[in-house]
Structures are given as C-alpha cells and as structure tokens.
Amino acid sequence: MNFLLIILVLFYTVTLSYSRQINSVFLAAFDPLYSVSGAYKRLNRDFTSLSDKFAKNSEAHSDTAQTESNKGNDIEYVEPTSSENPEIQKLGKR
C-alpha cells in the first residue's frame, strides 16, 4: 500500500511541471465531477459570450433600421437564403 502511495505522490510531483493539462487529467480520473464542472463552466462561458454577441448584433440591427427609417428610406424584408436553394448550391460548386 505504501509503495502505491509513493508512486502516486511521485507521479503527481512530476506532473506539476505540466500542471494545467495533466492535473486536469489526474483530477478527472479520481473526481468525475471535476471534469463535468469544467465542461459546464466552459459551456456556460461560451453560451454567455454568444448571447452577448447576439444582443449586440440585434441592437446594432435595430439601431440601423431606426436610423434608416428616420431618414425616410424604405426597409425591405429579404427572405433568408437556405443552402437547399439551387442557386446557392450552384455557387458552392464553383
């Protein structure tokens, strides 16, 4: 038992130089919730970032539409294009 503990301590000591990558693997092997919580944090950060970008884009679009409307310009709604559209597929094959 002591031998296993010594090997474990040596392994952990050696991995301190690569602490970020290997420490995560080491902890994930003994604590599955560590890897799950890390993935959750990254997912939450990405979702928050995308939500912020969406809000900024939506606000910019609204501001631009309001500015153009105030100038008296007509705003025309254009249907979104789909990759299933044959014209779009032709462009993709070029």
pLDDT in tens, 3-43: 787 877 777 776 665 555 555 666 666 666 666 777 888 88
Look at residue 45 and tell me if it is in a domain.
yes
Residues 36, 63, single domain; the answer is yes
Residues 15, 37, single domain; the answer is no
Look at residue 4 and tell me if it is in a domain.
yes
Residues 26, 50, single domain; the answer is no
DSSP string, 27-94: HHHH-HHHHHHHHHHHHHHHHHHHHHHHHHHHHHHHHHHHHHHHTT------PPP-TTSHHHHHHHH-
- Which backbone phi and psi does 8 adopt, to 5 degrees? -65, -45
Look at residue 76 and tell me if it is in a domain.
no
The total domain count for the chain is 2
Tens digit of pLDDT for each residue in 43-93?
888 888 888 888 888 888 888 888 888 888 777 766 666 666 677 667 666
pTM for this entry: 0.39
Look at residue 14 and tell me if it is in a domain.
yes
Check: CB of residue 9 under 8 Å from CB of residue 1. Answer: no
Look at residue 38 and tell me if it is in a domain.
yes
Enter the tokens of residue 13: 């000591």
Look at residue 84 and tell me if it is in a domain.
no
| Domain, as residue range, for 26 | 1-30
